[in-house]
A and B are shown apart, each in its own frame.
Chain A
Amino acid sequence: QVRLQESGPGLVKPSQTLSLTCTVSGGSISSASYYWSWIRQPAGKGLEWIGRIYTSGSISYNPSLKSRVTISFDTSKNQFSLKLSSVTAADTAVYYCARGVAGTYFDYWGQGTLVTVSS
């Protein structure tokens, strides 16, 4: 059974960089069949796809966040990471990591982690 678990600080100051890690268990992050994504959800609102990374190293970002987002792999730890720079209160949300099947829909999700941007 594949499991994803987000980790990282729950509180980030404005203008700083938000950093989260997703640890994958029960399957290899290097599998050719899957993309690995970050998705966020502000309280009481809908879902916003942030970006994805493929085992080949191919990366795609949401155009609205592209200038501030970096997603990377650490295959030795079976992890992938998110960095979001210059955060503001508008970046306060529950952040999810998820597995995308062949670059399509998401079949496995982490439980989510709340990140609050506040001084």
Chain B
Amino acid sequence: DIQMTQSPSTLSASVGDRVTITCRASQSISTWLAWYQQKPGKAPKLLIYKASSLESGVPSRFSGSGSGTEFTLTISSLQPDDFATYYCQQYDSYSWTFGQGTKVEIK
């Protein structure tokens, strides 16, 4: 299986901050990566697919980049609605896997 490792596990930030979350794959996955946002008690919500394509309806302050084994999710100016847990997911291989999650907390 391809392992996905996110960092940091927890991130404390303030409204207006620029936030970057990293996801590393155990082997190259080209750009076959998605990012999701999950709030407590809710299903994950798709933010980014194919590493850098913004899902329809997602605010433009979210952006994704990377290829191969290293990827980033950036929130350009953190808003109150953005405090949540973020997951990356690879879909390069036969067996799909998620990162362990990054919780974005209020500082």
Contacts and interface: CB of A to CB of B under 8 A. Distances in A.
Nearest to B6: A46
B100 A49 contact: no
Nearest to B56: A107
Given A109-B44, A111-B43, A49 B95 contact: yes
Interface stretch (B18-26, B70-78, B86-94): B86-94
A103 interface: yes
Nearest to B96: A49
Nearest to B91: A104
A48 B98 contact: yes
B95 A105 contact: no
Nearest to B100: A46
A36 interface: no
Contacts of A62: 95
B1 interface: yes
A109 B87 CA distance: 15
Contacts of A34: none
Contact of B98 (A47, A109, A112): A47
A52 B32 CA distance: 17
Interface in A31-86: 37, 46-49, 52, 60, 62-64
B46 interface: yes
Given A49-B96, A104-B91, A63 B1 contact: yes
B97 interface: yes
B57 to A, nearest CB: 11
A109 B43 contact: yes
Interface of B: 1, 32, 34, 36, 42-46, 49-50, 55, 87, 89, 91, 94-101
Which 5 A/B pairs are nearest by Cβ-Cβ distance? A105-B34, A109-B43, A47-B98, A105-B49, A49-B96
Given A47-B87, A62-B95, A96-B43, 17 more contacts: A47-B44, A47-B89, A47-B98, A49-B89, A49-B98, A52-B96, A60-B94, A64-B1, A101-B49, A104-B32, A104-B49, A104-B91, A106-B34, A106-B36, A107-B46, A107-B55, A110-B43
